[in-house]
Chains A and B, each alone.
Chain A
């Protein structure tokens, strides 16, 4: 557990919760990222603006932290390009089929105490854990 960073994790987590509560409180919408991106791609003009604005903010967040905050710890992306293509396709199809991702089901769905979202979160975390186990400890691939 040498890599455990509880303090930034708690602060960042509170910020994510606050952002989700803020979007609901101000605009009455769920801060589910896959739902917002998927909705944007369905070109519903009445809902286009707020979705685009939220996603622009999402990309702006790291700039805010590097300019005015504590700075950014460099990231490490071990997966190679073909693996990221497969990952992106699976995440895109899976989140639309399952109506949500870590934010929509994990933060907001469990936030409204939905059993549907609790089950979805347990299933995608389990599937992700098994996948990492296969990649890292059984197949040993992807430059890990």
Chain B
């Protein structure tokens, strides 16, 4: 079990450092990308291209191998359907992302600054997730 914890921690560190280096941890950079009618900043698109340049070939290779190097099974999602849930969820998420300039990763990484605003965002996000899970549970 320990190796999985260490590799997860290390992956999280590299991910968080990547968000910091690319400045996606800064909501004004993200909003600069989303604001196409303003002084447009394409940085976020370059971040996506850089990330996909790694994940597309890596995931294709890993899907074939089927097993992670720590011996556990590779759990690559295989859903490919598009339903109303997906679209409605993406719309709500997009509105929230546009309002604050934070998506989940940068919001959590920005907790490192010890500022009030990221903490408020993450707190509200946790409440939203818990509320949704509670509702989903009651509906099942």
| Cross-chain contact B72 with A27 (CB below 8 angstroms) | yes
Contact of B18 among A16, A59, A72, A106 (CB under 8 A): A16
**Chain A-chain B contacts (Cβ-Cβ < 8 Å), number:** 499
Interface size class of A (residues with CB under 8 A): 35 or more
27-78 of chain A: CB within 8 A of chain B: 27-31, 33-34, 37-38, 41-42, 49-51, 53-66, 69-70, 72-73, 75-78
* Cα A19 to Cα B20 with chains together (Å): 13
- With a cutoff of 8 Å between Cβ atoms, the chain A residues found around residue B48 in the complex are 13, 106-107
| A35 nearest CB across to chain B (Å) | 9
- With a cutoff of 8 Å between Cβ atoms, the chain A residues found around residue B103 in the complex are 33, 91, 101-103
| Cross-chain contact A41 with B94 (CB below 8 angstroms) | no
Contact of A19 among B15, B91, B116 (CB under 8 A): B15
45-80 of chain B: CB within 8 A of chain A: 46-56, 58-60, 62-63, 67-70, 72-77, 79-80
- With a cutoff of 8 Å between Cβ atoms, the chain B residues found around residue A54 in the complex are 8-9, 11-12, 15
* Cα A65 to Cα B17 with chains together (Å): 6
- With a cutoff of 8 Å between Cβ atoms, the chain B residues found around residue A91 in the complex are 93, 96-97, 100, 102-104, 107, 121, 125, 128
> Contacts A16-B19, A58-B109 known; A21 to B13 CB distance under 8 Å?
no
| Cross-chain contact B89 with A26 (CB below 8 angstroms) | no
Contact of A33 among B51, B67, B72, B104 (CB under 8 A): B104
> Contacts A9-B50, A59-B109, A99-B86 known; A93 to B92 CB distance under 8 Å?
yes
Residues of A within 8 A of B (CB): 1-6, 8-31, 33-34, 37-38, 41-42, 49-51, 53-66, 69-70, 72-73, 75-79, 81, 83-99, 101-103, 105-116, 119-121, 123-133, 135-137, 142
Residues of B within 8 A of A (CB): 1, 3-29, 31-32, 34-44, 46-56, 58-60, 62-63, 67-70, 72-77, 79-82, 85-105, 107-113, 115-118, 120-133, 136
Beyond the given pairs A77-B115, A94-B89, A133-B36, 6 more chain A to chain B contacts, judged by CB atoms under 8 angstroms and listed by A's residue number, are: A27-B68, A37-B104, A58-B108, A107-B51, A110-B52, A112-B59
